[in-house]
Amino acid sequence: MESVKLKTNVNRLNGKIEIPGDKSISHRSVMFGAIAHGETTVTNFLPGEDCLSTISCFRKLGVRIEEENGKLRIYGAGFEGLSEPSELLDVGNSGTTIRLLMGILAGRPFFSTLVGDQSIGKRPMTRVTDPLKQMGAAIDARQNGAYTPIAIRGGNLTPIHYQLPVASAQVKSALILAGLQADGKTTILEPAETRDHTERMIRQFGGEIEKDNRVIMVEGGQKLTAQAVHVPGDISSAAFFLAAGAIVPESNITLKNVGLNPTRTGMIEVLRRMGANLELIQKNKDSYEPSGDLVIKTSNLTGTVIEGDIIPTLIDEIPIIALMATQANGTTVIKNAEELKVKETNRIDTVVEELQKLGAAIEATADGMIIHGNSRLTGGTVSSHGDHRIGMMLAIAALLCDGEVLLENPEAISVSYPNFFSHLNKLIQ
Ligand code: S3P
């Protein structure tokens, strides 16, 4: 097992970084490029392992995808342009790849098998396989359709009216992608608003999708047209440096071109509530995916309660918010976040276990955690548990530690932020 010695006892972070492309939007750009007609180009695509898994799956489905100087070219020929793969479709560690891909494959009249790594093998798939079976796809998987490997023979899809049992953009997107191939109008009801990149991209590619509060309606049989997509920086990656800037003394960090889609900005709201010294400079307000620059300086933070509808807008940021809360005045309570248990790891358990090793006062609850502030962080051997966001959170925690910190399995970080350590080192110097 590989491990690295993390930088500790850091006195200040200073400088500017360009946040790499958004993971959710990068995945969707490849998928929409593949199902649209014509040549789609993608700039600022995230070359993280997860998004590379999406490219590899679509190549196996017969789509020509070229990469030159960081720019992708995808030659789409509509849903009908996809062909039966002769190999397994391996999604690696990527939940977005497998769930959205299932929605696409559900309408294709051929056989395919989806596999992934050990973590994917533990993540619940019934939430997607059940409604897709209701629409008419033939799907089987380990434990009655619950876990990978998953075999799909797509079919003629019938639209459904479906109430999502969990607030999940992956499930919603899978049903929208299946709905685009169904014979009529598919209606989806969300329990809380989740990231809407799929809806925005349908519109960008010339399609139509209606949204009325938490009800989403999409007609099947639409023809999508290739586009030039520019991917904004990932706010979920920026979050690590927002937290670092707020909690490391004498810091001043500028994060350039960060995606500011309002279904993703819960972290900004929490920073403000906690009293962070944060400035937001909006830039592309009117584009399909708005973005801007963020400036964060060392802040005097106060604990807060995070619960309810804001949870889906910051679900991936909870590990780093937990770390930030260890440095705030007072207690922070995170509730209604049981979805954390089915992420790349059980993120309630892994966050609590690893931060406790470093001396934090943090407890797990049934649906979140309670974090006591003003903790002095010490040191020790910690693990990412193979989860990119746990690895990055621990690297930021180490900056405050006064003892040595060793991180096991740091390689997981390349899933979403391959140049994370070079960006961090640039800010330390
Ligand atoms: C994602 C949706 C979220 C998020 C994941 C990416 C997406 O998952 O945690 O990192 O791109 O749609 P859920 O839909 O399971 O909440």
Task: Tell me if residue 316 is catalytic.
Answer: yes
Is the minimum distance from the CB of 96 to ligand 1 under 6 angstroms? yes
Helix or strand or coil: residue 223? Answer: coil
**Does the pLDDT of residue 116 top 80, yes or no?**
yes
pLDDT band at 429 (very low <50, low <70, confident <90, very high): confident
Residue nearest to atom 9 of ligand 1 (CA): 316
Residue nearest to atom 11 of ligand 1 (CA): 24
Helix or strand or coil: residue 159? Answer: coil
CA of 168 to the centre of ligand 1 (A): 6
**pLDDT tens digit string along 203-225?**
999 999 999 989 999 999 999 99
Place domain 4-21+232-427 in its CATH homologous superfamily.
Answer: Enolpyruvate transferase domain (3.65.10.10)
Is the minimum distance from the CB of 385 to ligand 1 under 6 angstroms? no
Rounded Cα–Cα distance for residues 103 and 301 (Å): 42
Is the minimum distance from the CB of 236 to ligand 1 under 6 angstroms? no
pLDDT band at 98 (very low <50, low <70, confident <90, very high): very high
pLDDT band at 284 (very low <50, low <70, confident <90, very high): confident
CA of 169 to the centre of ligand 1 (A): 6
Is the minimum distance from the CB of 269 to ligand 1 under 6 angstroms? no
Residue list for the binding site: 23-24, 28, 95, 123, 168, 170, 316, 343, 347, 389
CA of 172 to the centre of ligand 1 (A): 10
Residue list for the binding site for 3-phosphoshikimate: 23-24, 28, 168, 170, 316, 343
Amino acid 285: pLDDT: 80
Is the minimum distance from the CB of 383 to ligand 1 under 6 angstroms? no
CA of 170 to the centre of ligand 1 (A): 5
The hierarchical CATH code for the domain 23-230 is: 3.65.10.10
Q: Which amino acid is at 64?
A: R
Ligand 1 atom having least distance to the Cα of 166: 16
Amino acid 1: pLDDT: 59
**pLDDT tens digit string along 169-204?**
999 999 999 999 999 999 999 999 999 999 999 999
From the candidates 130, 316, 387, 402, give the one annotated as an active-site residue.
316
Amino acid 127: pLDDT: 98
CA of 270 to the centre of ligand 1 (A): 19
Is the minimum distance from the CB of 195 to ligand 1 under 6 angstroms? yes
Helical spans, DSSP H, in 298-361: 318-326, 347-357
Residues contacting 171, CB < 8 A, separation 6+: 99, 127, 128, 131, 164
Which of 295, 293, 341 lies closest to 318, judged by CA? 341
**Does the pLDDT of residue 280 top 90, yes or no?**
yes
Rounded Cα–Cα distance for residues 213 and 216 (Å): 8
pLDDT band at 141 (very low <50, low <70, confident <90, very high): very high
**Does the pLDDT of residue 69 top 90, yes or no?**
no
Q: Where are the beta strands (DSSP E) in 27-180?
A: 37-43, 64-68, 71-77, 89-90, 111-115, 138-141, 147-153, 161-163
Residue with tokens 């619940």: 124
418 token code pair: 């391959």
Report the share of the chain in percent with pLDDT over 70: 100
CA of 308 to the centre of ligand 1 (A): 17
Is the minimum distance from the CB of 168 to ligand 1 under 6 angstroms? yes
Amino acid 283: pLDDT: 86
192 touches 309 (CB < 8 A): yes
Terminal C-alpha separation, the chain: 29
4-21+232-427 matches 23-230 in fold: yes
Ligand 1 atom having least distance to the Cα of 171: 14
Per-residue pLDDT, averaged over 85-101, amounts to 98
What are the residue boundaries of the structural domains of the chain, listed by start?
A: 4-21+232-427, 23-230
Residues contacting 195, CB < 8 A, separation 6+: 24, 169, 261, 263, 264, 312, 313
Looking at the DSSP bridge assignments, the partners of residue 138 are 153
